[in-house]
Amino acid sequence: MTLAPPVAHEGPALQAQVQDTPGMRMLYSALNHLDDAAARLNLDPNLHRILRTCERTLTVAVPIELDDGETAVYTGYRVQHTSVPGPCKGGVRFHADVSLEEVTALAQLMTWKCAVLNLPYGGAKGGVSVSPATLSENELRRLTRRYTYAIMPIIGPKKDIPAPDVNTDERTMAWMSDTYSMLIGEASQEIVTGKPLILGGSVGRADATGLGVAIIAESTMKRYGTPIEGARAVIQGFGKVGYWTAHYLAQAGCKIVGVSDVSGGYTHPHGLDVEAMLKYTKTSPTRTLAGYTTPGLETVTNEELLLLPCDVLIPAALEDQITSLNADRIQAKYIVEGANGPTSSTADKILHARGVMVVPDILANAGGVTVSYFEWVQGLQAFPWDLAEVQKNLRRFLYNAFDHVCDFSEANQVSLRQGAFMLAVSRVAEALAQRGIFP
């Protein structure tokens, strides 16, 4: 790789502008991570300039007929950051706050996540600006099919493979797969990942992100001298990521001393029974932990949960949970980011100065995209794996990535976040340098 000073970028004007919306703030943060890594690597400014720019950005109108006969028109996006390492890969989210800036930032972060895991993918992301709770199932199906039709010119099993994200699931992927297959006139289940098993989905996909977070948390404690047996874990979030993380850490011998969901936080000094808590949520009126009781249980706020004394803290809910307002009061030895972007850049610096080790999201929660890769491979080969094969390969990929990030960070005397981004950027930049620029 050619070494040279980093490329100049927008500076204060952009910094002022990005405060306007969450999407712009997210994009600025993503670019900051890239710029910091590029500066530390002395990256060739020509390569830096290319990596700062997304390869393809598509904005589409998504008109659908509502159940009452009216027509609504929504705005959708699909952004492909780079196809240099391979086909683009990334989720599709349905949310009122979806914006081009948010999708652009997430596409870039997907590139770095795939690069950290050495997956042969570039990053992509898509979404529709809509409140799915306001639509019926039929309206959601029409929306999904029309959106799939609209982005068809740039997706394909070897071009760009969508997956579930916020407010989308395996049913959404089934609709997308069917729409694409009908329009091209042949079966193409490998066009998406995160599908139902009967349609070519992979076993182990539903719990892959949570299992991956647990694997990385265990690896962190093992490498840095904290016994896993009896280690205290606090997990913010009790959805698919939070529950499965708690499940697998408890299996490994950790004490889950705190969890939370939208109803608040729950803590027990001797450890919580996460299986009993999950069972409670399946029958509770709100489908949350609200009202859950057991001897010795204490309730706290979600904010207080983050400050509980523990060995490992896993924010697995929302972004921007650990900030300059609470970073100096965090009592965990390790923070393993199950959510995307739960730690602000200012908090990151405070935690690093205090000696709190933060394992970044692009490594910690990459189990989902890794098993999505396995699903894609199984689809291309028309040869399904069993659960043991999926989990064996997931562990192999995550152990390798974790060791590479730790070794690289220690060799360069940087934080794990800085090391992960530097390693990812260097890999994609090297691939770009080797391929050159067409024509």
Active site residues: 125
- Distance CA(4)–CA(215), nearest Å, equals 37
Looking up tokens 């309730």, which residue turns up?
299
Give the DSSP letter of residue 116. H
Instruction: Give the helix/strand (H/E) hosting 150.
Output: helix 137-151
b or e along 12-25 (b: 16 or more beta carbons within 10 Å of the residue's beta carbon)?
eeeeeebeeeebbb
Q: Minimal CA–CA distance to 162: which of 89, 85, 81, 86?
A: 89
The residue count for the chain = 439
b or e along 343-375 (b: 16 or more beta carbons within 10 Å of the residue's beta carbon)?
bbeebbebbbeeebbbbbbbbbbbbbbbbbbbb
Instruction: Give the helix/strand (H/E) hosting 14.
Output: helix 12-17
Residue 115 makes CB contacts below 8 A (sequence gap 6+) with: 85, 423, 424, 425, 427, 428
Q: Which amino acid is at 307?
A: L
Q: Which amino acid is at 400?
A: N
* Tokens, residue 285: 């009126």
Instruction: Give the helix/strand (H/E) hosting 115.
Output: helix 100-116
* Tokens, residue 151: 């982005």
Residue 355 makes CB contacts below 8 A (sequence gap 6+) with: none
The SS3 call for residue 156 is: strand
Q: Which amino acid is at 68?
A: D
- Distance CA(325)–CA(331), nearest Å, equals 14
Q: Minimal CA–CA distance to 305: which of 253, 339, 336, 268?
A: 268
Give the DSSP letter of residue 89. E
Give CA 76 to chain center in angstroms: 20
Looking up tokens 């927008």, which residue turns up?
10
State the sign of the Cα–Cα–Cα–Cα dihedral 159, 164, 166, 171: positive
